[in-house]
Structure 1
Amino acid sequence: MREKKNHLYVDSGERSILLHSLVELKNQLIQQGRYTDCVDELIFKVIHAPIKKLRVELAGGSDVR
């Protein structure tokens, strides 16, 4: 059976916070002497994720880009 994929859309500020949090988690794991492979994979995916521009329509009828 095929795994279900989930897509996460974040803006540049949220992406920055996500990366900083993952690096902080990696540093904590290193201090504890634990493996960081899974965190490294997530950091790689976030850094190399494609940028997609979306158009969002607000309830009031105006558009945000």
Structure 2
Amino acid sequence: MKKQKFYLYLSDTETSVILHSLIKMKNALIQDGRYTDCIDELILKLHEAPVKRVSI
């Protein structure tokens, strides 16, 4: 059974808001002394995601 894939189409401002939120969450986890591996992976995925222009 294949996993279903979901695709997000985000504007530049939406991407920026998500990135800043992830960084804020990572800093909070660091202050609590918890692991940040999952947040690091999400930040990398968001940063390395291909840019596709879609007209609405």
Do both share a fold (TM > 0.5)? yes
Residue type of the alignment partner of 1:55: S
Count of aligned residue pairs for this structure pair: 56
Structure label with greater radius of gyration: 1
Q: CA offsets per residue over residues 21-50 of structure 1, 9 Å max, x none?
A: 000000000000111011000000000000
TM-score by length of 1: 0.82
RMSD: 0.7
Distance 2:4 2:32 in 1: 33
Counterpart residue number, 2:39: 39
Normalized per residue, the structure richer in helix is 2
Pairwise mapping of residues 1-65 of structure 1 onto structure 2 (< 5 A)?
A: 1-56=1-56
Larger RCO (alpha carbons 8 Å, 6+ apart): 2
Percent identity for Structure 1 against Structure 2? 52
Normalized per residue, the structure richer in strand is 1
Counterpart residue number, 1:62: none
Which stretches of structure 1, 4 residues or more, deviate above 4 A after TM superposition?
Answer: none
Runs of 5+ in structure 2 lacking a partner? none
